[in-house]
Amino acid sequence: MTTGEIIAQSVESLWEKIIGFVPALVVAIIVLVLGWVLGNGLGSLVQKILEAIKIDNLANSLGLDKLSARTGKKLSVAAFGNWLVKWFFIVATFVAAADILELSQVSSFLYTAVLPYFGSVIVAVAIMLIGIIAANFLQGLVRHSLNASGLQSAESLSLITKWAVLIFAFLATLSQLGVAAAFVQDLFRALVAMLAIAGGIAFGMGGREHAKKVLDAVEKDLMGK
């Protein structure tokens, strides 16, 4: 076989591969476009549904508006739902397009690494958002309850409650993301132990007299019998 024949055969083989690849490329592009359109459409639909049930009003009543004021950005649960649905479909269509193009390594990477971590990021953001809302809500609840009881330490205890919830939410977020999992677990155990010890000391200092009265009453009752 001459050099010219070898070159001609190589060019012909390359041309056949290109011709065979073009239909798959066209289909992959169509899938990506449809995925983008579908993701945006469903995301907008989800946002409208969440806005219709006034979920942002509920979130604002629990303190989301205060967080928005502090960050200087408008935070919206409905908009987050839009983002969540949209990017889920977009990433899923990238996986489908990689499968169509027979890019097995890319497809495997997206399917085994990107999609699961994308899900973890979504859950982590949701955990942190719920934690912030719950922290603000519980802070207000504790403050109003203790003020109604006439306790002077209402503000301090409400702040402790808020930051305890925020810390637990932050640790749960790190755990969900798999960031220093062992360290987060040890830190979580240490915080729980610290709170338990602090609660025990507080009970021992504040409830000692009350406990003594209860024990004295029980002793008198037994002696009377």
Both 63 and 124 in a single domain?
Answer: yes
**Percent of the chain scoring above 90 in pLDDT:** 3
**The tokens 């912030």 sit on which residue?**
132
Report CA 99 to chain centroid distance, whole Å.
29
- Eight-state DSSP code of residue 207: S
The reply to whether 155 and 70 lie within a common domain is yes
Specify whether 96 is located in the same domain as 187.
no
Amino acid in position 171: L
Between these two residues, 188 and 40, which has the higher pLDDT value?
A: 40
Going from the C-alpha of 50 to that of each of 41, 54, 64, 77, 172, the distances in angstroms are 14, 6, 15, 8, 26
Query: Are residues 162 and 65 located together in one domain of the fold?
Result: yes
Shared domain check, 225 and 149: no
Report pLDDT digits (tens) over 90-123: 888 888 888 887 777 777 777 777 777 777 777 8
* Tally of domains within the chain: 2
Task: Please give the residue range of the domain that contains residue 201.
Answer: 180-225
**Same domain flag for 218 and 116:** no
The answer to whether residues 42 and 85 touch, using CB atoms and an 8 Å cutoff, is: yes
Q: Write down the pTM of the prediction.
A: 0.54
Tokens 């009377």 map to which residue?
224
pLDDT value at position 12?
63
Distance CA 77, CA 61 (A): 13
